Amino acid sequence: MRLLVVEDDRDLNRQIVSALEMAGYAVDRALDGEEGQYLGETEPYDAVVLDLGLPKMDGASIITSWRSAGKTMPILVLTARDRWSDKVNAFDAGADDYVTKPFHLEELLARLRALLRRATGHATSELVCGPVKLDTRSGRVVVDGAAVRLTSHEYRLLSYLMHHEGRIVSRAELIEHLYDQDFDRDSNTVEVFVGRIRRKLGCDLIQTVRGLGYMAAPPAEKA
């Protein structure tokens, strides 16, 4: 999953980004409203953490701009503004959740997991596809009860496909949603990671749809 953090406090921005990356997300960052608005409008993020009191362009205006442009990614507002009127304005503009500062990083991570689950139609933190279970809260992957160790990039790819179980996901979409702006998008990294995940899982959970991409689906039972 690829996230955007728009926060003008450099130390807080760095702290949030670090926590999100440690949780297995690819993260881009912006330090002012104009840069954040541009990134959110031009890049396909799975969710955004957005401050309201930003230089150059305020957060409420950014939300309105994104929603007017048809952007539907979940937006979590993170701000020091705790008046009920600010919350109402943010939700009416199109925000999906609202957290006031000071805050606990664990709560922020939990709220983002919930937003990502709802956006892809999942009710709990555990994703199940055939014999494979992936817990988005702990980052643990289990196959038939046995834990499987994945690298951070392998986990991101498997998590994205399982969030979108049953849907064909193109290589281009995977690259856009799994890696930050600095990733070499001409590499064959996706193919390499798919091969590694298949070997580690020991089952045909990830199916190749020739010419179109990949799909997570329960392995066909052998006769």
Measured at the alpha carbon of residue 24, what is the angle toward residues 23 and 26, in degrees to the nearest 5? 120
The first and second tokens of residue 6, run together, are: 């728009």
Residue 88 reports pLDDT greater than 50: yes
Confidence of residue 9 (pLDDT cuts 50, 70, 90): very high
What span, in angstroms and rounded, lies between the C-alpha atoms of 161 and 214? Answer: 8
pLDDT tens per residue across span 188-218: 788 889 999 999 998 889 999 988 999 999 8
What are the structural domains of the chain?
2-119 (3.40.50.2300), 126-216 (1.10.10.10)
Predicted TM-score (pTM) of the model is 0.80
Is 149 within 8 Å of 142 (Cβ atoms)? no
Residue 222 reports pLDDT greater than 70: no
- In sequence order, the 6+-apart residues with CB closer than 8 A to the CB of 51 are 6, 7, 8, 9, 59, 77, 78, 79
What does the buried/exposed string (b/e) look like for 166-203 if buried means 16 or more CB atoms within 10 Å of the residue's CB? eeebebebbbbbbbbeeeeeeeebbeebbeebeeebee
Is 162 within 8 Å of 132 (Cβ atoms)? yes
Q: What is the mean pLDDT of residues 150-168?
A: 92
